[in-house]
Structure 1
Amino acid sequence: MTETLLFHVSDIHFGLENNEALDWFSAEVTRLRPSAIAITGDLTMRARHHEFRAAEDWIGTLDAPVTLDVGNHDMPYFNLIERFFDPYKRFGRMRDVVEREIDLPGIALVPLKTAVRMQPRFNWSKGWVTGRALDKCLAAIDALPKGTRVLVTVHHPLREVGTQGTALTRGGSKALAELAKRNVLGVLSGHVHDAFDIMEDTPHGPVRMIGAGTLSQRLRSTPPSFNELHWDGERLEVHIRNLEHVPDEAMKIDDVPEDAQPPRHEGEPVAPVGAVPRTDPPVN
């Protein structure tokens, strides 16, 4: 079987993007020609029209199929009517690639929505896997040809901490358990702005969770990076590519913080609805 190369990038945050990192990533797409690119959310900083236009222009230059998850930053912050009734409107022509399944020989990228327009807790920036979203993802997996392996794409990591008030992603534990039943290769995510590659135990076996860093100016503990994934039909290898040539292991955080939030940029406005001022959790 010919090896499949995939790129996994996240949290570009157009509006506070790192142009050097974006140019570098684009050059690597041209040079290595991945079979597909997974962008796991937070494409924009504040879901403003000009941020989406810049993102659309950049994605249009990438010579590879793209699937794009919606992040909490991609929901309208200041237009509540639009947020509730047409939250994807500002994606424009990019709506064709939002939560798009990509089928490749022997492997598929299947989206699982974790960003919701509203939820019954104050901080709407956190993730939620609704029953409807999980059912849609599982149905897509079950419909694939027998023997196809799956990488599920999400914005928020699915790791739960077992508490109602500060759970990282509501419904995450249930989603992981269901994905373990289907022997998925891994779950690709963003949101925390640092890379990780960990195994999460579930009642039905472990699930591999793979997080990408950021190509924005909103750095946490590591430089701008993206993940380069190699699938040979039996093994998935993940290499963290970064601008400062730091070795893979030194780029990874040990675990997802309990209340995972990327750092707040100085001068960044606080969303008026459903969000609270962010405090950075300890860096592991």
Structure 2
Amino acid sequence: MPRLFHVSDIHFGAEDRAALDWFAQTVRDEQPDALIVTGDLTMRARRREFEAAADWLLSLDRPMTVEVGNHDLPYFNPLRRLFSPYRRYRAVERAIERPLELPGVAVVPLKTTARFQWRLNWSKGHVSRRSLKRTLRLIEEASSAKVLLVAAHHPLVEPGTAATSKTRHGPRALRMLAEAGADAVLTGHVHDPFDIAHDATDRSVRLIGAGTLSERTRMSRPSFNQIDISGGEIEVSCRVM
């Protein structure tokens, strides 16, 4: 039975050291099969923040996939944001948007960040045709898996939390992911955990959100999700510090 730890919004630069230590110790003690990190490793995409995040992630010593969050795009340098936004990810580049294959389950990435948007708030989500096409291709390649999970940073539709994602083209993407066979979409961004069933087409898709391990908590204390897969069923437990 694969066990996954889903963690998000670590925000090095505004990290909660006690929460990081608690999570790392839990990983060492319980040895999950893989980690799913749904974005916002840093607060302002500074070099020292990425270096600290990379050191911490590598110290966990587990298979992982890491999504890019809006806070991970250069904040103070617009040229770097447009032309080399992911350069500081190099320490963990092999994990960035990496598909994972485990017995009975596949995890595929969906990028929901954008270097530029035609609106004032660039922190909100955006699903491009190119990103969605890649994810749908990865789902097709992993179609033999009993359970298909999609990992993204922004919720594709609003989950009813205090914070919002306002993801452009999110509802359309969710419909197409459901039609392709996705069983759940794992996200972060809003800093509060959730687990809801959403009827995207003629089938239901689980929307699973992780909280934060940073000082930027909202309604919930620092937490992460434990996801157990057994017999094609998904069981989610929110682990709160």
User: So what's the TM-score if we normalise by structure 2?
Assistant: 0.95
Greater displacement, 232-241 / 44-53? 232-241
Contact 1:9–1:214 at 8 Å: present in 2 too? yes
- Where in structure 1 do 4 or more consecutive aligned residues deviate above 4 Å? none
Task: Compare CA radii of gyration and give the structure with the larger one.
Answer: 1
| Aligned residue identity for 1:51 | E
Contact 1:160–1:172 at 8 Å: present in 2 too? no
Between the aligned partners of 2:180 and 2:92, the Cα distance in structure 1 is 30
Q: How does 1:273-284 map to 2 (within 5 A)?
A: none
Q: How does 1:34-113 map to 2 (within 5 A)?
A: 34-113=32-111
Partner of 2:207: 209
Q: What is the CA deviation profile of residues 167-215 of structure 1, one whole-angstrom value per residue up to 9, with x for unaligned ones? A: 7101111111011113322100000000000112223432110000000
**Higher fraction of helix:** 2
Between the aligned partners of 1:22 and 1:174, the Cα distance in structure 2 is 35
Between the aligned partners of 1:134 and 1:145, the Cα distance in structure 2 is 16
Contact 1:12–1:215 at 8 Å: present in 2 too? yes
Contact 1:14–1:55 at 8 Å: present in 2 too? yes
Aligned length in residues: 237
Identity of aligned residues (%): 51
User: So what's the TM-score if we normalise by structure 1?
Assistant: 0.81
Contact 1:159–1:200 at 8 Å: present in 2 too? no
Contact 1:177–1:204 at 8 Å: present in 2 too? no
Structure 1 pair 71/30, CA: closer, same or farther in 2 (3 Å)? same
CA-atom RMSD, angstroms?
1.4
Contact 2:165–2:189 at 8 Å: present in 1 too? no
Structure 1 pair 75/41, CA: closer, same or farther in 2 (3 Å)? same
Partner of 1:143: 141
Partner of 1:188: 186
Q: What is the CA deviation profile of residues 241-283 of structure 1, one whole-angstrom value per residue up to 9, with x for unaligned ones? A: 011xxxxxxxxxxxxxxxxxxxxxxxxxxxxxxxxxxxxxxxx
Greater displacement, 16-25 / 140-149? 140-149
Contact 2:147–2:232 at 8 Å: present in 1 too? no
Partner of 1:200: 198
Higher relative contact order (CA 8 A, sep 6+): 2
SS at match of 2:59: coil
Contact 1:9–1:38 at 8 Å: present in 2 too? yes
**Aligned mate of 2:123, from 122, 125, 130:** 125
**Runs of at least 5 residues in structure 2 that lack an aligned partner in the other structure:** none
**Runs of at least 5 residues in structure 1 that lack an aligned partner in the other structure:** 244-284
